[in-house]
Amino acid sequence: MSQHDTSHDDEKAVSNISRVTHDSVHIHGIDLIAMLGNVNLGDFAFLELFKRLPEERESIVFNALVVALVEHGLMPSAIATRMTYLGAPESIQGAVSAGLLGLGNTFVGTMEGSARLCQEFMAEGAGPETDIEAAAEHIITHYREQKKVIPGIGHPVHKPRDPRADKLMAIAVEQGFDDTPIRLMQAISEQASRRFDKTLPVNVTGAIGAIATSMNIDWKITRGLGVMARAIGLVGHILEETRTPTAQKIWNRAERECNEDTDPSN
């Protein structure tokens, strides 16, 4: 039996996030009861990720980042949520999940990409002295050679500037965060625009990638920021769907077109 002994410490499945006694709850060592009424949801999310509450400047920038990710309109994830709600209105959790499942490489991947690009750049020792222009040129050339899309620049609607990106970067600089990754993204944007003769502004995912780097948020967890923020937005879409249904209309049209295509008499 000994090899099955489950009392070994290394066999214990333990989470250290919360500590609960009959009259107290602590989250990462901080008294939850004292936080209630004093800590906002964004700061609490920061605590979940960093195991400490944010300083004021961190609170301002972190809340701004996640707020910018909450609501992106009738995107594929919102359509998936609404379709799911149409079929299973008893399960709000299912409808939100269906929408979150689309936050993959296509959309959120660009945020990871720009965060990773910035973090690899910083890991090589970049600082105030670094020649940002040369680095940007090198990065653009590298992506071109690999035939990969440069993450974090360009937007179909927001031209010539993405106002969300500009505001987020301005806030981060204003709050005193290291602007090296931001300057890198901007240099990439400007050089790529000239080189490819296109309008390629730093977009919101590029800005978040850069700022996440300044805030020491690992690029591997940036997708998590998108997921937590969008869960809020998708609840908003469900609420709107209960009042102004869209799913039935989208479905009707898709089905009608399939039948048009089938039936030559139409």
Question: Among 52, 89, 149, 196, which residue sits at the site for its own copies (rule: CB under 8 A)?
Answer: 89
Q: Is 77 in the site for its own copies (CB under 8 A)?
A: yes
Minimum gap (Å) between residue 80 Cβ and its own copies: 4
Which of 29, 52, 55, 104 binds its own copies (CB under 8 A)? It is 104
Residue 171, both tokens? 């806030």
In the complex, the smallest distance separating the C-beta of residue 209 from its own copies, rounded to whole angstroms, is: 16
Q: Which positions from 123 through 142 interact with its own copies, judged by CB under 8 A?
A: none
- Cα–Cα distance for residue pair 79/188, rounded to 1 Å: 33
Residue 114 class from Cβ within 10 Å (0-12 exposed, 13-18 middle, 19+ buried)?
Answer: buried
Q: Using the structure block, give the residue that is written with the tokens 């969008």.
A: 230
Q: CA–CA separation, 41 vs 92, rounded Å?
A: 21
Helix (H) or strand (E) holding 25: strand 24-27
**Residue 84 vs 136, nearer CB to its own copies:** 84
With binding defined as CB under 8 A, does residue 98 bind its own copies?
yes
Q: Is 173 in the site for its own copies (CB under 8 A)?
A: no
Contact stretch for its own copies (CB under 8 A) within 4-12, 146-154, 180-188, 190-198:
4-12
Binding status of residue 263 toward its own copies by CB under 8 A: yes
The binder of its own copies chosen from 29, 52, 76, 198 (CB under 8 A): 76
Residue 208 beta carbon to its own copies: minimum distance, rounded to whole angstroms: 11
Dihedral of the alpha carbons of 121, 178, 167, 61, in degrees to the nearest 10: 110
Distance CA 175, CA 167 (A): 12
